[in-house]
């Protein structure tokens, strides 16, 4: 994917500038990546096709997958019960290939707001939502989310009343988490696809809320 990294007008579909790769001087770590990849192939551990397939599989995962799960939970109480009891099984039953992911779903209500962090590294439900946003991996987020989540949420534009209890989940070990955001008011007439469009990535990490539909 060649591109001109000097051209800041040229933004990706996510609105971020593309990261320079092919057209900048080769770095030490890029040389290592190429060398390690070639050695793994030559030694018979991996094939180029496997590597390409894995890249495609990760690229295919996105917050839209999680949004579909959330929308289903909003319209189908029985599914929500299954999701809260065993999120890995319920998600797989919807047809998503989440690999070996051990997933726990936590539900936001008027009384409870959940937010996810990994203070020790940057564990993230990547097999459901795709790769994490850069901020999730920063020192600032990892340090502060377990001590001052309300201030952190304010930086994301989320102001919660004192009456709402915050539950932070530190993803320290084998489980990964997804937040089921509260269903916005004024969405009674919407179908599952329209509801899924309201579910943002950040709302499933707990640093955002689901969008309110236009006109509601």
Instruction: Tell the smallest beta-carbon distance from residue 194 to other proteins (Å).
Output: 27
169 counts as binding other proteins under rule CB under 8 A: yes
CA distances in angstroms from 3 to 11, 25, 31, 48, 55, listed in the order given: 11, 14, 20, 24, 20
Torsion sign (Cα): 53, 58, 59, 62: positive
Q: Scanning residues 71 to 100, which ones bind other proteins (CB under 8 A)?
A: none
Integer Cα distance of 171 and 210 in angstroms: 22
Which of 10, 89, 109, 147 is in the footprint of other proteins by CB under 8 A? 147
Collapsing DSSP to helix, strand or coil, 104 comes out as strand
17 counts as binding other proteins under rule CB under 8 A: yes
Integer Cα distance of 2 and 210 in angstroms: 36
Q: Which is nearer to other proteins, 149 or 181 (CB)?
A: 149
Instruction: Tell the smallest beta-carbon distance from residue 130 to other proteins (Å).
Output: 10
DSSP string, 133-149: PGGGGSHHHHHHTTT-H
Residue 115 and residue 178 in contact, taking contact as beta carbons nearer than 8 Å = no
Nearest one of 199, 209, 205 to 161, comparing CA atoms: 209
Instruction: Tell the smallest beta-carbon distance from residue 15 to other proteins (Å).
Output: 9
Q: Of these residues, 88, 123, 171, 203, which one is catalytic?
A: 123
Q: Which is nearer to other proteins, 76 or 148 (CB)?
A: 148
Q: Scanning residues 26 to 45, which ones bind other proteins (CB under 8 A)?
A: 26-41, 43, 45
Known catalytic membership, residue 203:
no
Window contacting other proteins (CB under 8 A); options: 65-73, 159-167, 181-189, 192-200:
159-167
Q: Scanning residues 122 to 141, which ones bind other proteins (CB under 8 A)?
A: 122, 131, 133-135, 137-141
Kindly state the DSSP code that residue 211 receives in the 8-state scheme. P
Window contacting other proteins (CB under 8 A); options: 14-22, 73-81, 184-192, 208-216:
14-22
Active site residues: 118, 121-123
């Amino acid at each position: 994917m060649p591109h001109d990294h000097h051209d800041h007008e040229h933004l990706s579909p996510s609105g971020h500038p593309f990261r320079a790769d092919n057209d900048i001087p080769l770095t030490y770590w890029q040389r290592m990546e190429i060398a390690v990849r070639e050695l793994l192939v030559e030694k018979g551990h991996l094939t180029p096709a496997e590597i390409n397939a894995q890249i495609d599989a990760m690229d295919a995962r996105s917050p839209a997958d999680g949004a579909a799960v959330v929308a289903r939970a909003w319209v189908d109480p029985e599914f929500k019960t299954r999701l809260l009891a065993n999120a890995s099984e319920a998600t797989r039953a919807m047809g998503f290939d989440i690999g070996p992911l051990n997933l726990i779903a936590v539900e936001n209500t008027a009384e409870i707001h959940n937010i996810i962090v990994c203070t020790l590294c940057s564990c993230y439900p990547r097999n459901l939502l795709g790769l994490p946003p850069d901020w999730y991996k920063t020192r600032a987020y990892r340090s502060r989310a377990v001590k001052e989540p309300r201030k952190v949420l304010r930086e994301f534009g989320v102001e919660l009343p004192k009456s709402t209890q915050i539950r932070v989940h530190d993803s320290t070990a084998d489980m990964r988490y997804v937040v089921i955001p509260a269903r916005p008011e004024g969405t009674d007439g919407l179908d599952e696809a329209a509801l899924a469009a309201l579910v943002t990535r950040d709302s499933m990490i707990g640093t955002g809320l689901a969008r309110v539909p236009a006109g509601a």
